[in-house]
Amino acid sequence: VIVTLLASTRSWWRNEEPAWFAAWLTFLVPLIPVSQIFVPLQTRMADRYLWLSVLGLSWLVALLMRKLERIGAITGLFFLVVFGAGTAFRANIFSDSVSLFSDATAKTTQSTTAPYLLGYAWEQRKNEPAARAAYEEVLRRNGQDEATRTATNSLARLEVRRGALAHAEAI
């Protein structure tokens, strides 16, 4: 990545081929928030899936700049601004576990993992009502997996802390 940045910057600086620098920026800017190079995130795999999603567009913009420099520059700038703003917006969701798992819980209807992890995140923040609601969502989804079993135990533990022993036993 650094070698391509240096090569494309050199090419742009010497007015040999500015399209390569534009392609590099179009490729990198949308990935900055999830690349974990500049901003450490909760996710470990997101960057591996995003690299290829913008590669084709980067090369198309580079080719357009090479053939029609003015239109290509405007197009490249447009994509850079749109994708940069979009990823900055999404980076906010990935900035902490509660916002990430709240988003994932809202977008899934079957998965028990997202609401379980949301409950765990709320429990770590000492917000027991929110944790309880997330764990109850796991049970409502009626899964038969490890997340459901763990959420059941976590919810029962919260009920014990609250003094509701009969409810904890029922769970």
State pLDDT tens for residues 88-120. Answer: 888 788 788 899 899 999 998 888 999 999 999
The reported pTM is 0.58
Supply the mean pLDDT for the chain: 82
pLDDT in tens, 48-80: 556 656 766 777 777 777 778 888 888 888 888
Please enumerate in sequence order all residues whose Cβ is within 8 A of that of 118, keeping only pairs 6 or more positions apart, or say none.
Answer: 97, 98, 101, 102, 104, 105, 134, 137
Q: What is the DSSP letter of 30?
A: G
The tokens for 7 are: 């090569």
Q: Which amino acid is at 71?
A: I
What pLDDT is recorded for position 48?
Answer: 55
Q: Looking at this protein, which amino acid is placed at residue 105?
A: T
Q: At a CB cut-off of 8 Å and minimum separation 6, what does 98 contact?
A: 118, 121, 122, 125
Return all residues near 6 (Cβ < 8 A) that are at least 6 apart. none
